[in-house]
Amino acid sequence: MTDYKNYNLISFKHFIGDILNKKHKGKFNYSDIKEQIESILEDETSRLSARSFYNVVSVLDEDIDNLCKIFFKSHPAFKLTSLENHKNKMQGLFKPMINSKRQLSEASGIKETRLGEVFDERYDEMYSYEVYGLAIAGGLKPSQLFDYFYGDGLRPVV
C-alpha cells in the first residue's frame, strides 16, 4: 500500500515552494500567491487532502497532470488489467465493470478499508495520493478526477 508520508503536507510544501520560487519570485504577485497557498494549507493535517492539493495547483496555474507525474513519481498505482484491450468484444464491454474492491485497492495503492470509506460518500475527504492512485488505476489522467471531484470537470469515462 501507499505510504502517505511520501506525499504528506511537509513534502508538498517543499515541492510547491520550489515551484513558487522558480515561477514567481521577484514578480509583483509573488506575495499574493504565497499568501493564498498558505491560507489553503493552514488547516491541513499531516496528510495532504486532495481538495487542498487541487486548490494549490490551481493557484499556481500549473498543469496538474505534469505536476502529479513529478510529485507522485514513486506511487505504486497501476492500471487495472480489466481495462486493457480485449480480443473479445464482450470482455471489452463488461470486464471493466466487474472489478472487486480488492482489485481496485491493489491497483490504486489504497487500503481496502479506506476504499470502503471513500465509496461511502466520503470522496470529499480523500487525500491527494488517493485521487492520483484511483486515476492511474482507472486509466485516467489525474486532472480528470481532480477536476471532477473538486472543480467543474465532467464525469470521466473509465
47-74 average pLDDT score: 95
Map the chain to HEC letters: CCCHHHHEHHHHHHHHHHHHHHHHCCCCCHHHHHHHHHHHHCCCCCECEHHHHHHHHHHHCCCHHHHHHHHCCCCCCCCCHHHCCCCCHHHHHHHHHCCCHHHHHHHHCCCHHHHHHHHCCCHHHCEHHHHHHHHHHCCCCHHHHHHHHHCCCCCCCC
pLDDT digits (tens, 9 = 90+) for 135-148: 999 999 999 999 99
* pLDDT confidence bin for 15, thresholds 50/70/90: very high
pLDDT digits (tens, 9 = 90+) for 73-99: 999 999 888 777 767 666 665 666 667
